[in-house]
Structures are given as C-alpha cells and as structure tokens.
C-alpha cells in the first residue's frame, strides 16, 4: 500500500465513515457457487454518501499486468490532498474483452471494499482458496463453501508515482 506523507486527516475522516458504515447488501446471485454476494453497485451504495459527507473520494483505474493479468488500482483520497493507494492483481479467466471486463469489475469491488473497510462476503478462513487439485488448480468450492480471495500488492503503481491534488 502506498500513501501520502501524512494521512492524519484521511484517517480521521475514514474512522467517521467506518463508524457509520453498514455492510454491503448481498443482493446478487452466483449460480456457480450457489451463493449470494454484494456486487459493485451494492458496495458503492453502502459507502458513497458517507465518503462524500466526510470529504473522501475513491479513484479507480486499471492497467495490463504480466502473464494474463489486469491490475486494478484503488485510491482513497481526502479533500486535504492526502491519499492511500492499493493495487490488486487479477488473473484473467478468459483472455478476451469479457474476461478483462469481468476481472476489472471484480477487482474494483474488492479494492473498494478493502480500502474503505466494507464487509459483504462471508469469511471462510481461506478454506476455498486452499482447495487445490493435484494439478495445482483451485477446485470449485462445495455447495456450503464461499470462495476466498486475497489482496496482494503488486509493488509500485503501474503508471509510476501517484499524485492526488
């Protein structure tokens, strides 16, 4: 995670947001996992007004990563110019426009939820991510398991240093 030299004002405002933040509504269905989840619209809906009320905004962008991945960058910016930034590297399930769009939307949802502190999905303690087949591929979870995904920083921002003014 990268940040501006000081994040004191941002941290104070984010604490006020988080004190009033409700979980995102799990109003979408994933038939593959037989589960519900909070889509990007729901995650945004849970925080947009509170962020604006406390002088915070979110900026998200993306770039192409190595080895069939897309990098989703999320910046939480405060009206004072302070900011924090995180990147999430998402593998492409399909190497076509639909696969890229899907990975970007997924990355935006998880990037936004993580940087603001929004809870939406069940935490399965990494069980679904640990279900590996003999060939190293992740097996689909069983009916009662939720998938678990982990943010991981990619390093420096994809387009150099981030400046928010």
* Digit-coded pLDDT (tens) for 45-58: 999 999 999 999 99
- As a whole number, mean pLDDT of residues 112-132 equals 73
Work out the percent of the chain whose per-residue pLDDT is above 90.
Answer: 56
- Reported pTM: 0.71
- As a whole number, mean pLDDT of residues 110-138 equals 69
Query: pLDDT band at residue 128, thresholds of 50, 70 and 90?
Result: low
d(CA 80, CA 10): 8
Beta strands in the chain (DSSP E): 2-3, 28-30, 35-37, 56-64, 69-78, 83-91
User: Is residue 89 within 8 Å of 82, Cβ to Cβ?
Assistant: no
Residues in contact with 46: Cβ distance below 8 Å, sequence separation at least 6, in sequence order: 21, 22, 23, 24, 25, 38, 118, 120
């Amino acid at each position: 995670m990268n940040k501006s030299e000081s994040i004191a004002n941002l941290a104070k405002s984010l604490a006020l947001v988080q004190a009033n933040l409700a979980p995102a509504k799990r109003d979408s269905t994933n038939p593959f996992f037989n589960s519900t989840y909070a889509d990007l619209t729901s995650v945004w809906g849970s925080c947009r007004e509170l962020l604006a009320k406390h002088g915070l905004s979110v900026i998200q962008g993306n770039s192409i990563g190595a080895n069939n991945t897309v990098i989703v960058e999320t910046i939480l910016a405060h009206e004072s110019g302070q900011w924090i930034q995180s990147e999430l590297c998402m593998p492409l399930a399909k190497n076509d426009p639909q696969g890229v769009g899907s990975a970007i939307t997924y990355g935006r949802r998880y990037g936004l939820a993580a940087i603001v502190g929004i809870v939406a999905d069940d935490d399965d303690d990494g069980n679904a991510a640990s279900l590996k087949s003999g060939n190293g591929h992740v097996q689909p979870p069983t009916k009662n398991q939720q998938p678990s995904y982990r943010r991981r920083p990619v390093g420096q921002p994809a387009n150099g240093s981030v400046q928010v003014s």
